[in-house]
Amino acid sequence: MPTPSIPRCELHAWRAVEAHAREMRHVHLRDIFRSDPARGQRMTQETCGLYLDYSKNNVTGESLSRLRDLAEACDLRTSIQDMLNGRKINVTENRAVLHTALRNRSNRPIIVDGRDVMPEINAVLEQMASFSRQVRDGTWKGFTGRPIRNIVNIGIGGSDLGPMMACEALKAYSDRRLTVRFVSNVDATQFVEQTRDLDPAETLFIVASKTFTTQETMTNARSARAWMLDALKDPASVARHFVAVSTNTAEVVGFGIDPANMFGFWDWVGGRYSLCSAIGLPLMIAIGPESFVQMLEGCHAMDQHFATAPFELNLPVTLGLIGVWYNNFFDAQSQAILPYDQYLSRFAAYFQQGDMESNGKSVDRAGRPVRWQTGPVLWGEPGTNGQHAFYQLLHQGTKLIPCDFIGFCRSHNPLDSHHDILMANFFAQTEALAFGKTAQAVAAEGTDQALLPFLVFEGNRPTNTLLADELTPYTLGALIALYEHKIFTQGIIWDIYSFDQWGVQLGKVLAGRVLQELQAPSSPALQHDSSTNALIARYRARR
Ligand code: G6Q
């Protein structure tokens, strides 16, 4: 562990932000805009096809400047370079953190343990491209000689959410003759429902697991193999219908998958940061290698921007610091991501893992309990559906929930006036959240006095708006890298390790012990607490 640094909350720069935030808490966005009417044009940043308007936040130039001072005091600049250059910043697992190398389109050498990782990355990308082309053009045949029509990815967490999100996001670019599905839950319902209408002779399973030991994934993979063998009756069929994405060759071979059909990656790719590795194989098959590379280009452009842009023009740093502002100095407990694009329906779920698994930590990098808030609860759903569900609380509830609105100028499905209607809602919501509706405005409409308090909208609800021209592979890549680096920025400010996940490991261990008790032939002596003992006994008696 590194030498303990001064706790973040004792830094002069932290206290300066804190003191300033105390003043800003009483300032309404209406007043901020009144005294600074040009902020809507000025408080914007544009890069990699993304336009960010952060003017509807309770911040002034001074707030941002103090937040940037905090970033400097936390050594964010050096930390970014450390990550990009392959230093082992994931200290508790003794690993480098190099998802940025996976999309390093400049191909500059990146050295880990004395070796340049780029040749291996390029080789796997080539292997993926060649395989994807064969599946897409039908030269990869199933065991009975028929081409593959269905791809089923079996993986969970980081080996599921990224490709699932991106396959949905880039559906407009996908080959519609192929069906791509995802099985993650160990609940057999998902496997059964996702495969019930598929023909095994035309189905390819991608077993995606970094460790190839994850209970859920291996259980689903074994059921998939049984499903295939039940139909095709020959163990030799496995080689034509199963490929693996993993770092664990021994386990892949043990499962019966030909190592020639294994796509490798490396321990310096974290699960939730692995979409640009071979974990992206289902996406590459769906959209083709060229579009996949476009996505990598978008990520790389944002990586470059993060590495080189001064903090005042740096999108991930700006989003990260604004998030810190509300999380640590305005007591906000959560953060919503609200994409106004149906293709991004899984985007918030993807970054729910990205953010909460990375920054849901409570000791600092020296192992001391933190005395400040770390990662927020991250959540969200696409608009406009959310407006008819939870926006009530955003507008009139007692909680402060900063929101990111993401929208596009052009739709892939320009049907009648749908897109204008969608975007009218998009713009109207951030306006209403910021400025609300005063009692005078309500009264001016001749409203019954008794109803007046219920119809007032206090406003002063902060939002960021991200507006891009169109949801392309490149734009998606830029968006992904933007949020990844926002998480990184915040992890550094909070002085936590963002790239381990010991909380996930705990669940993996505990379930193993209970499973033995559930499967014991006669009632085992249960040694849990009285609640857990009684629940297990009831389940055993009634299943
Ligand atoms: C991600 C986490 C976790 C992981 C899954 C699947 O960062 O570590 O979500 O991706 O537990 O692990 P495997 O890929 O090893 O099956």
357 is catalytic: yes
Q: How far apart are the CA of 507 and the centre of ligand 1, in A?
A: 12
SS3 150: strand
Region label for 288, one of left (φ > 0), alpha (ψ between -120 and 50) or beta (otherwise): left
Q: CB under 8 Å to 512, separation ≥6 — which residues?
A: 215
Residue nearest to atom 2 of ligand 1 (CA): 271
DSSP 474-509: HHHHHHHHHHHHHHHHHHHHTT--SS--HHHHHHHH
Cα separation of 165 and 175, whole Å? 16
508 flagged as catalytic: yes
Angle in degrees, CA 86, 486, 171, rounded to 5? 95
- DSSP assignment string, 327-381: HHHS---EEEEEES-GGGTTHHHHHHHHHHHHH---B-TTSPBPSS--PPEEE--
Which of 165, 352, 501, 502 best tests ligand 1's pocket when mutated (most atoms within 8 Å of CB)?
Answer: 501
Q: Of all atoms in ligand 1, which is nearest to the CA of residue 508?
A: 11
Question: How far does CA 255 lie from the centroid of its chain?
Answer: 30
Task: Locate the ligand 1 atom nearest the alpha carbon of residue 158 and give its number.
Answer: 10
**What separation, in Å, do the N-terminal and C-terminal C-alpha atoms of the chain show?**
48
Centre of ligand 1 to C-alpha 145, Å, is 34
Q: What is the pLDDT along the chain (543 residues), one digit of tens a residue?
A: 556 789 999 999 999 999 999 999 999 999 999 999 999 999 999 999 999 999 999 999 999 999 999 999 999 999 999 999 999 999 999 999 999 999 999 999 999 999 999 999 999 999 999 999 999 999 999 999 999 999 999 999 999 999 999 999 999 999 999 999 999 999 999 999 999 999 999 999 999 999 999 999 999 999 999 999 999 999 999 999 999 999 999 999 999 999 999 999 999 999 999 999 999 999 999 999 999 999 999 999 999 999 999 999 999 999 999 999 999 999 999 999 999 999 999 999 999 999 999 999 999 999 999 999 999 999 999 999 999 999 999 999 999 999 999 999 999 999 999 999 999 999 999 999 999 999 999 999 999 999 999 999 999 999 999 999 999 999 999 999 999 999 999 999 999 999 999 988 887 778 888 999 999 999 999 999 999 999 999 999 999
| DSSP track, 98-146 | -HHHHT-TT----EETTEESHHHHHHHHHHHHHHHHHHHHT-SB-TTSP
Element containing residue 301 per DSSP (H, E): helix 289-308
With a Cβ cut-off of 6 Å, ligand 1 is lined by: 156-159, 209-211, 214, 217, 270-272, 357, 501, 504
What is the amino acid identity at position 52? L
The model's pTM is 0.97
| Beta-carbon contacts of residue 169 (< 8 Å; ≥ 6 apart) | 343, 344, 346, 347, 471, 476
Question: Separation of 457 CA from ligand 1 center, angstroms?
Answer: 43
Task: Count the residues in the chain.
Answer: 543
Q: Which protein residue has the closest C-alpha to ligand 1 atom 5?
A: 157
Ligand 1 pocket mutation, candidates 159, 185, 505, criterion most atoms within 8 A of CB: 159
Q: CA 309, CA 393: separation in Å to the nearest integer?
A: 37
CA distance 507 to 26: 43
Q: Whose CA is nearest to atom 1 of ligand 1?
A: 271
Centre of ligand 1 to C-alpha 311, Å, is 32
Distance from residue 469's CA to the centre of ligand 1 (Å): 33
| Among 406, 394, 466, 397, residue whose Cα is nearest residue 434 | 394
The protein residue whose alpha carbon is closest to atom 9 in ligand 1 is: 157
Active site residue 93: no
Tokens describing residue 5: 């640094």
CA of 89 to the centre of ligand 1 (A): 19
Q: Which atom of ligand 1 is nearest to the CA of 208?
A: 14
Phi, psi of 326 (to 5 degrees): -75, -40
Instruction: Among 153, 156, 273, 484, name the best residue to mutate to test ligand 1's pocket (greatest count of ligand atoms within 8 A of Cβ).
Output: 156
Q: Which atom of ligand 1 is nearest to the CA of 156?
A: 6
Pick the catalytic residue from 168, 357, 381, 517: 357
CA 210 to centroid of ligand 1, rounded, Å: 7
Is the distance from CB of 100 to CB of 84 less than 8 angstroms? yes
Cα–Cα nearest to 67, from 243, 441, 321, 442: 321
